Every structure is written in C-alpha cells, then in structure tokens.
Amino acid sequence: MESIVLKEISKLRNGRAMYGDFVNNRYCVVLSESDGCSTAYCFSTPVYKSGTNMLLEPAFLKDGDVIHMEGSNAVVNIGRDISLRDKCGEVKIITDAAYEYLSEDEVRCADRRIYPSLNGITCSEACGDGKDIRLNLEVNEPTQIRVNDKCFAFMRGQYTPLMTVSCIGGVDGKGVVVAPAIIDYEQTGEMSYELTIRTSSGCAESVLFEINMYEPKLFQDTTVESNNPQCNNAFGGTAFIGNTEPYGEQWLYIRPDMSKIEDISGEYTEKALLHLPVYQKECQSLKIHSVSRRFCSFGSNWNNKVTSKLFSAGSMNANGYVSFDITKMYEDRALGYIIRPERKDGGFACLSTGDNYCRPIILELRTKD
C-alpha cells in the first residue's frame, strides 16, 4: 500500500517522479531534484512512526473481534468501544456497539463512518433532521480540559493535550464542507464527559470531526474571529477564513516552529510554498501577510490580534490545496503570518490548520546546499 504521505506529495508535484531518501526527520520527506537541488515537504504533524524510520501508512487491520490501527505515536483499537492510547494515557469512546470492518480505509457503525488519520481517527456521521452527534468519552485518570465551541481537549500539561476532538464541519451530499460544526460538553463523572456536536446548516447531510492523540506540531497557530472577539482556538483542526454566521470574520495566524526542521532551515532556501488543504472547493480569494511582531498562539484573539506588514501574497488553488508562494516573505518565518480574506464580502474558505491530523498543512522548501 502506498503511503498517504507520498500520495499527497505526488499531488503537489503534479505526478513528477520522486527520488531520494525519504527518511529525514519525523516531519519531513526530502527529495532530490534533477538540477541538483532538494525539495523538502514538511508536514504539520509527524509522518514517521515514533521511534522508527517507517513512513506512516495508516490502515485498519482486523484481528478477530478487534479492529486495530497504529498512528504516529498512538494505537487505536475498535471493539465494542473505541480506545486511543499512547505512552501518556488512554481515552475511550464508549459506544457498546458493533463496528463493521469495510476496508483498510473505513469502519462503519450505524450512521457513523470512521477513517484512519495520522494519529487517530476521522469520523463522519449523518445529521439529517437536526440530529445531534453524541460522544461519550472516558479518560484513564483525572485530567484538566481545554474547550471551546470548535475543539475539546484532555490536557496533560498547561499547553499540551493528551487527546483532542476537533470539529471539521457540516458536509453536504457532494462531500463539501458547507458550514461550521459546533461542539458542546457535559461532565458526567470524574473521568467521563458527553460531547454534543451539531451544525445549524440545513444543507449539511453529515458532520465531519476528528479524534486524535496529541503530537507536537510543526506549526503554532490559532484562528481569531469578530463574533467571538475573546475566543482563542489553538487546537482546532479547521479555519473558516472569511465570513460565516457563527464566527463573523475569521483570520488564521500561523507560524512554523523551525527548531523542528533546523537541519533543513539552515540551508539556502530558493523557494518556499505553504500548502493548506481545502475542504470547501469554491473557496474565495485569500491573502497571506507577514506579521509586524511575534504572536502567541494561546493568547491571541480578535481584540488583541497582531497587525500585519504591508507586504502580502495571493493564493493559488490546485490539487485540493490553497497554496501561497511565501519566498519573499520567508525571512519573517520566526514571526509568522496571517491568512485572511481579500474581500469582506467573499464568503469563506474552509482550510486545515496546523492541528489537523487528517489533512495536514505542508511547507515546501526548495533548497541548495
């Protein structure tokens, strides 16, 4: 089975041949080009299995009554319940239901379909007639939570999650995200919670969300929005950049953590491209701006947002990505960037953030030694 990581790189290369030693660090695949340069594809979440040089190939395997999958640092077991476990802890989704193995790429239980992600699962569940999606979670030891209307996280430190549940959005019959999905919660015991996920869009036939054990990310980011001017979204997996009814105008602040790829970032960069997977195909025109000073991904909101510099670059749409040529802005990488709509009346674009495990952001760097 070809790695999903290489499939995504092939899309960005328009099918051009790939040569080189794929093993570099946990976030990057480095390829050799015919002109002697190298191109590094740096993913927002690790694409190698922890402790090995194995490129990830997330797939469900059936072992008796249990369906099994291995992510970048976690193990998923699906039986009567769903267990996600790493060396720091375990979270269960309590269902007491029969899950049907359909393929390496899909498991089904009634209206819920489950797909592998790079360190957990992505779920799609029917939401017709105003149906709410309910998840009953149990963690193996008491822990703090961090929550907003987009993401729920069990925390193992002040800024480090154990596990996240993140809404992607309401999806129509063509598989396009047409509206945000909202998450709410109730604590039902010392170590148990019931989550409710819903979308208000009448066009949505299902809700898409993901559940993952945490991995440190290459990108530190957050959305900020005018309707919730004090809201921060450091661990949410999608951004609705532009204008929506729940959020008003939303921007994405994003900054690569270059210490994770310092073996590449120290070389001369000839070209730099930032690729964000798009969930809404008819996305509006977007621009990326350098920021005037460093921002805090945990403390930023609409009210205190950092301003941008005058220089900006427009977006390009191809192969399921919104891409930005940031070569001329790359010297500002330590400060970060803002992605925002070009116009205030142009609708919205639903894109992955740096915390998306299903369709991660990719930083493409073409370098010379």
Whole-model pTM over 0.75: yes
Tens-digit pLDDT profile for residues 76-133 = 999 999 999 999 999 999 998 889 999 999 999 989 999 999 999 999 999 977 789 9
pLDDT at residue number 290: 95
pLDDT at residue number 9: 95
pLDDT at residue number 90: 98
How many residues comprise the chain? 369
User: How far from 343 is each of 239, 304, 314, CA to CA, in Å?
Assistant: 17, 21, 12
Tens-digit pLDDT profile for residues 253-285 = 999 999 999 887 666 889 999 999 999 866 668
Q: How far apart are CA 338 and CA 265, in angstroms?
A: 21
Q: Minimum mean pLDDT among 100-109, 329-338, 343-352: which range?
A: 343-352
Average pLDDT over residues 178-197: 96
Question: And the tokens for 249?
Answer: 């105008």
Look at residue 311 and tell me whether its pLDDT is greater than 60.
Answer: yes
Q: How far apart are CA 316 and CA 321, in angstroms?
A: 8
Which H/E stretch holds residue 322?
A: strand 321-325
pLDDT at residue number 24: 67
